[in-house]
Amino acid sequence: MITVNAIGDACPLPVVKTKKALENLEAPDMVEVFVDNETAVKNVTKFVSQTGKKAVSKKIEEGRYQILIDCTGNSEEKDGSKEIQPEKSGGCAENTGNAGGTVVVISSDRMGEGKDELGKVLMKGFLFALTQLDTLPEKILFYNGGAQLTCEGSDVLKDLEFMQEQKVEILTCGTCLDYYGLKEKLKVGSVTNMYTIVETMAEAGKIIKP
Amino acid sequence: MGELPKFQDENLLVGMETSDDAAVYKITEELAMIQTVDFFTPVVDDPYTFGLIAAANALSDVYAMGGVPKTALNIVGFPNCLSPDILGEILRGGAEKVKEAGAVLSGGHSVQDDEPKYGLCVSGFVNPNKMWKNYGCQPGDVLILTKQIGSGIINTAVKAEMASESAAKEAVQVMASLNRKAKEVLEKYPVHACTDITGFGLLGHMAEMVSASSVSVRVNVEAIPYMEEALAYARMGLVPAGAYRNREHSQAYVNIGDVEEAYTDVLYDPQTSGGLLASVPKKYAERILCELKQVNTGIKSAVIGTVESKRETYIYLEKENEADGQK
């Protein structure tokens, strides 16, 4: 059992401490967090359920609450949150090293520097070739110019849809969709944010960037 | 404040009773003075930016009454252990905002304090016949919100060092922007009621407005402009204590339907220097939004609800467009 003491900490410190504790967990375990106010109970509980784990809280005495977080990997509860993708499994063990899967990062609708026309053809070829890999990537991130590829009018939707069916997670940057006015036009995968993008990259076993 | 002595003066058009944004005192039939004061502790690290935000926030109450700010006085609390250069930067930010508002900075007062505090006491003018009160919504009106919401949650995420750079930047831009342009667009149309969104959050201020107007309002939570990442941070538990207090205070006025908690967290989130919430006849909504878009770059405004005859509860939250979610 790992204990986090957030007694006397003002918002948002209890969430920050809990986040650190979950990230530093080296093996499946239970984590208990102590806080002294209800706001902290609610915020820590929200944070935990967003990561796909389960938490129960109880008031021990006036000004002392315990939140018990199951990081044993036995509770595969998934939260309904759509914008942020919970970690694939409920366990914390995943975070320990670079045991993560392959992540492909697409930051443009073109591949390489040179003529735009060629770049687009190459990108199309790259995504098709990707579908032919024996082991598909775990996730594909699309941002900036890359965001156009997951939206209406893209000529690689078929390949992306195929990979999605094979359980490849397709994530497109929400800020980018907004910027290019494509929010309503997303055709494949879901919307993500910078926080998830950074975490996905940080936890990846291997990053492929064409 | 219920135990304070009551004041009677027939020229005091708006006092403490209706929890409106500022006090209004009639001078002649066509001229009334608006007075308001607001100051707070830093919401951002950069002193100059803090000055901009605190001043925009204090000036906002005058705009919320439909008035024009004329004079402003600095209110300063400052610790003597900090460099006076920091105070200089705060005051520079404040002064620039006052200038942008077209008012004059005419003095102020400072005291030594453990924590920096800054704000303004602002006086402005309004024609008492054209003044906007925070009640008077009529069935057939729509509610227009002139800034995106979520600054309390974004500021909490910044403190937690979990905010993205772009989200933090957007929040600063929104908080530092004056409500002047929005007010200048709105005043061309018949505004039935207006308030600005600050510490009680969107739903807190809306509850005051619709309950005092004895009407109900249907709010489409999908139509509300949110700051980037605000909903995501709410889901991560980066919700300030004030949002929970606001929820407790106002929830009796609100039917949340089956709207997800993250939305209501943002709707109750206390705002710093939030936008105007105006009740206007529906037929003008499109033109108003079009004009707001032209004058306010980077700031989002939208029709967020429709006013109806009073029903059981005052505010009904709905989530339209469920079908075309982000799938």
Domain boundaries, chain B: 12-126, 141-318
Residue for token pair 């990846």: A204
Q: Do A11 and B239 touch (CB under 8 A)?
A: yes
Could you tell me which chain A residue has the CA closest to the CA of B237? Answer: A43
pTM of the model: 0.70
> Cβ distance A50 to A77 under 8 Å?
no
Q: Do B237 and A47 touch (CB under 8 A)?
A: yes
Alpha-carbon gap, residue B250 to B316, rounded angstroms: 13
As a CATH number, domain B12-126 is: 3.30.1330.10
Q: Do A38 and B244 touch (CB under 8 A)?
A: yes
Helix (H, G, I), strand (E, B) or coil at A139: strand
Q: How many CB atoms lie within 10 A of CB B51?
A: 29
> Cβ distance B156 to B239 under 8 Å?
yes
A157, A179, A193: which to substitute to probe chain B, counting the most B Cβ within 10 Å?
A193
Contacts by residues B284-289 (CB-CB < 8 Å, ≥ 24 positions apart):
B284/B189, B284/B190, B285/B142, B285/B144, B287/B189, B288/B144, B288/B185, B288/B186, B288/B189, B289/B144
**Is A92 known to be catalytic?**
no
Q: Per the CATH hierarchy, to which homologous superfamily does domain B141-318 belong?
A: PurM-like C-terminal domain (3.90.650.10)
B159, B235, B248, B264: which to substitute to probe chain A, counting the most A Cβ within 10 Å?
B235
Question: What domains, with CATH codes, occur in chain A?
Answer: 2-95 (3.30.110.40), 102-208 (3.40.1260.10)
Look at strands A29-35 and A2-6 and give their pairing.
Answer: parallel
Residue-wise pLDDT tens digits, B38-82: 999 999 999 999 999 999 999 999 999 999 999 999 999 999 899
Helix (H, G, I), strand (E, B) or coil at B229: coil
**pLDDT value of position A165:** 87
Quote ipTM for the complex.
0.72
- Give the mean model confidence (pLDDT) for residues B90-100: 97
The answer to whether residue B24 scores a pLDDT higher than 50 is yes
CA-nearest of B64, B195, B206, B213 to B137 is B213
Residue-wise pLDDT tens digits, B154-209: 999 999 999 999 999 999 999 999 999 999 999 999 999 999 999 999 999 999 99
Question: What is the distance in angstroms between the CA of the first residue and the CA of the last residue of chain B?
Answer: 50
Helix (H, G, I), strand (E, B) or coil at B71: strand
Instruction: Work out the pLDDT band at B2, boundaries 50, 70, 90.
Output: low
